[in-house]
Amino acid sequence: MAGGSAIRGSRVGAGPMGEAERGESIARFRVSYWCANGHETKPSFAEDGTVEVPAQWDCPRCGFPAGQDKNKPPMPMKNEPYKTHLAYVKERRTEAEANKILDIALKKLRGDE
pLDDT digits (tens, 9 = 90+) for 84-104: 998 898 899 999 998 999 999
Helix, strand and coil in the chain, % to nearest 5: 25, 15, 60
Is 85 annotated as ligand-binding? Answer: no
Is 62 annotated as ligand-binding? Answer: yes
Range 28-67 classified under CATH 2.20.28.270: yes
* Cβ-count burial 21-39 (b if 16+ within 10 Å, e if not): eeeeeeeeeeeebbbbeee
CA nearest 67: which of 39, 96, 48, 95?
Answer: 39
Looking at residue 21, what is its pLDDT? Answer: 61
Arithmetic mean of pLDDT, 7-16: 63
Looking at residue 70, what is its pLDDT? Answer: 92
CA nearest 45: which of 68, 26, 61?
Answer: 26
pTM over 0.85: no
Q: Where are the domains of the chain?
A: 28-67, 81-112
pLDDT digits (tens, 9 = 90+) for 46-62: 988 888 999 999 999 99
pLDDT score of 68 more than 90: yes
Q: Return mean pLDDT, the chain.
A: 85
